[in-house]
Amino acid sequence: MAGQATHPPRANPRGNNLKAAGIRPPPRLKHFLDLDRIDPRTLRRILDFGAAFKRGKPPKGRAKPLAGRTLAMIFEKPSTRTRASFQVAMQELGGQVVVLGGPESQLGRGETIADTARVLSRYADVIMIRTDDPAKLREMAAYASVPVINGLTDQSHPCQIMGDIMTFEEHRGSIQGRTVAWSGDGNNVAASWIQAAARFRFRLRLACPKELAPRPAVLAWAKGEGAEVTLVGDAAAAVAGADLVVTDTWVSMGQTGDKRRRRLLGPYRVDARLMARAKKDALFMHCLPAHRGEEVTDAVMDGPHSVVWDEAENRLHAQKGILYWCLAD
């Protein structure tokens, strides 16, 4: 639990005798926690690494730059894409993976995140965690002596948006100055889109029920950064003339899908009529898993605007960029 740890974090990966042995301490850890914590040039660099791996032209010509390195992944929530894509990414870069589920590890019996961080840092070179409370992610980063990657919390999903930006740019060129429309729940994925709008300089219009609007703090941060992020009343207004339309599930992991929630979100469903209000060549994205017939119709998921499978694939490539940046850049 946050705040239960009793010792300050150690700076050295794998041991505390480096200084005594006259070995230089490692440089500051490169955590991938949230898009607001990483500057735009670095984010662009990470995407460039990912694209280079995808093209088969790895940075410095090293196809297996993470040989001998280990990624530990902790899942306190379910996953298909994040788990599979990180595992394949690490393996293709020459490294290996250890996967821990929340309930079947000692975390499920109350071992603290801080202690888990210190233990895993002795086995692994990088840790990815998917959890509920973002305080747990911060605690992991505070107590790990290796880089920590955010694999989703209740408040953000930055790895997803890196893959999404890569996907948009592959299809349509630079996202800077373009218009992205979000229609649906103002959830964790929406929050990372808001942060991305500031970092990648695109216009973002969000249509969400006011009861399910994004957290004011994330909107205030984006505004402070000069980002063009606006909340608009209805989905049609958000989507009008957009280059990209994005939505996500109405019921995120850990939430209950009551009738009221579905009633509130009904008007934000992305169907062919709504999509027709966007630019003629607009793209449609969804982080998946999709609930067809709820937040998106089959006609849109399987229609000409949809790039959801490319988007899912690009989790793999973007995360190679993240892993390479954390460990080998």
Contact code string over 129-158 relative to ligand NVA, x by CB under 6 A: -----------------------x------
What minimum distance in Å lies between the beta carbon of 157 and ligand NVA? 6
Residues that bind ligand CP (CB under 6 A): 79-82, 152, 160, 287-288
CB closer to ligand NVA, 148 vs 152 = 152
Cα separation of 311 and 247, whole Å? 13
Check residue 213 for interaction with ligand NVA (CB under 6 A).
Answer: no
Told to judge if 171 belongs to the known catalytic residues of this protein, a careful annotator would answer no
CB closer to ligand NVA, 89 vs 146 = 89
Annotated active-site residue in 31, 81, 83, 157: 157
Query: What is the three-class DSSP state of 136?
Result: helix
SS (H, E, C) 22-46: CCCCCCCCCCECCHHHCCHHHHHHH
213 binds, among ligand CP, ligand NVA, none (CB under 5 to 8 A by kind): none
80 binds, among ligand CP, ligand NVA, none (CB under 5 to 8 A by kind): ligand CP
Kind and range of the H or E run holding 206? strand 203-207
Identified binder of ligand NVA from the candidate list 85, 150, 179, 187, rule CB under 6 A: 187
What minimum distance in Å lies between the beta carbon of 261 and ligand NVA? 13
Annotated active-site residue in 69, 81, 155, 160: 160
Cα separation of 233 and 209, whole Å? 8
Told to judge if 55 belongs to the known catalytic residues of this protein, a careful annotator would answer no
Annotated active-site residue in 81, 130, 178, 203: 130
What minimum distance in Å lies between the beta carbon of 58 and ligand CP? 25
CB closer to ligand CP, 153 vs 297 = 153
Cα separation of 54 and 295, whole Å? 31
Cα separation of 184 and 165, whole Å? 19
Query: Exposed, middle or buried by CB within 10 Å (0-12, 13-18, 19+), for 101?
Result: middle
CB closer to ligand CP, 143 vs 284 = 284
Place of tokens 């740019």: 169
Cα separation of 225 and 210, whole Å? 23
What minimum distance in Å lies between the beta carbon of 300 and ligand CP? 17
Identified binder of ligand NVA from the candidate list 124, 189, 208, 301, rule CB under 6 A: 189
Residue 270 DSSP label: B
Identified binder of ligand NVA from the candidate list 188, 195, 247, 297, rule CB under 6 A: 188
Told to judge if 329 belongs to the known catalytic residues of this protein, a careful annotator would answer no
Told to judge if 315 belongs to the known catalytic residues of this protein, a careful annotator would answer yes
Contact code string over 272-291 relative to ligand NVA, x by CB under 6 A: ---------------x----
Which residues, in sequence order, are CB contacts of 60 under 8 Å at separation 6+? Answer: none
Cα separation of 165 and 188, whole Å? 16
Cα separation of 245 and 238, whole Å? 9
What minimum distance in Å lies between the beta carbon of 178 and ligand NVA? 23
Place of tokens 């339309």: 245
Instruction: Pick left, alpha or beta for residue 205 (phi over 0 → left; psi -120 to 50 → alpha; otherwise beta).
Output: beta
What minimum distance in Å lies between the beta carbon of 295 and ligand NVA? 10
3-state helix, strand, coil in the chain (%, to 5): 40, 15, 45
Decide if 4 contacts 114 (C-beta within 8 A).
yes
CB closer to ligand NVA, 112 vs 153 = 153
Cα separation of 223 and 175, whole Å? 19
188 binds, among ligand CP, ligand NVA, none (CB under 5 to 8 A by kind): ligand NVA
Instruction: List, by residue number, the catalytic residues.
Output: 130, 157, 160, 248, 287, 315
* Residues engaged in binding ligand NVA (CB under 6 A): 152, 187-189, 248-249, 252-253, 287
